[in-house]
């Protein structure tokens, strides 16, 4: 089933959002309930809310409660700050060694 306008930015298929115990029972009872009947229990939901979460959710083995806690996208994580400083340090070291190499090349051309 194609996603509605509320969630199409996230995924092309609509998530199965079931709103009652009866809907859930019929959805799961595939031996007695046909697929057409089960699909009748899916309703587009316009009032879904969401929030950004940590990249902890990228590991399916992670069951930490932090997985569903909202995060502030503006605040850089400790790992991204560390990585950024490491990359800058590496870049400065590379520039310095490139400069030293250039100086050696210029000296050798003069000789």
Using one digit for the tens of pLDDT, what is the confidence trace for 6-23? Answer: 778 888 887 778 888 988
Dig out the tokens for 7 from the structure.
């969630």
pLDDT value for 18: 83
Q: Which two tokens stand for residue 62?
A: 């992670």
What secondary structure letter does DSSP report for 2? B
pLDDT for the residue 93:
53
Place of tokens 């250039």: 102
User: CB atoms < 10 A from the CB of 27, how many?
Assistant: 16
pTM of the model: 0.42
The confidence score (pLDDT) of residue 22 equals: 87
Residues in the chain, overall count: 111
Model pLDDT for residues 67-95, shown as the tens digit of each residue: 999 998 887 666 667 777 777 776 555 55
Beta bridge partners, 2, equal 13
Three-state DSSP class for residue 13: strand
More confident site: 85 or 57: 57
Residue 69: per-residue pLDDT: 93
- pLDDT, averaged across the chain: 76
pLDDT higher at 65 or 111: 65
Mean pLDDT confidence for 24-38: 85
């Amino acid at each position: 089933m194609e996603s509605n306008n509320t969630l199409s930015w996230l995924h092309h298929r609509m998530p199965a959002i079931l709103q009652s115990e009866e809907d859930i029972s019929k959805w799961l009872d595939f031996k007695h309930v046909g697929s057409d009947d089960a699909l009748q229990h899916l309703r587009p939901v316009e009032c879904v809310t969401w929030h950004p979460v940590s990249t902890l959710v990228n590991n399916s083995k992670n069951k930490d409660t932090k997985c569903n806690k909202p995060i502030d996208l503006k605040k850089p994580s400790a790992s991204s700050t560390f990585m950024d400083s490491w990359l800058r340090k590496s870049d400065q070291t590379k520039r310095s060694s490139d400069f030293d190499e250039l100086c050696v090349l210029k000296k050798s051309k003069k000789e």
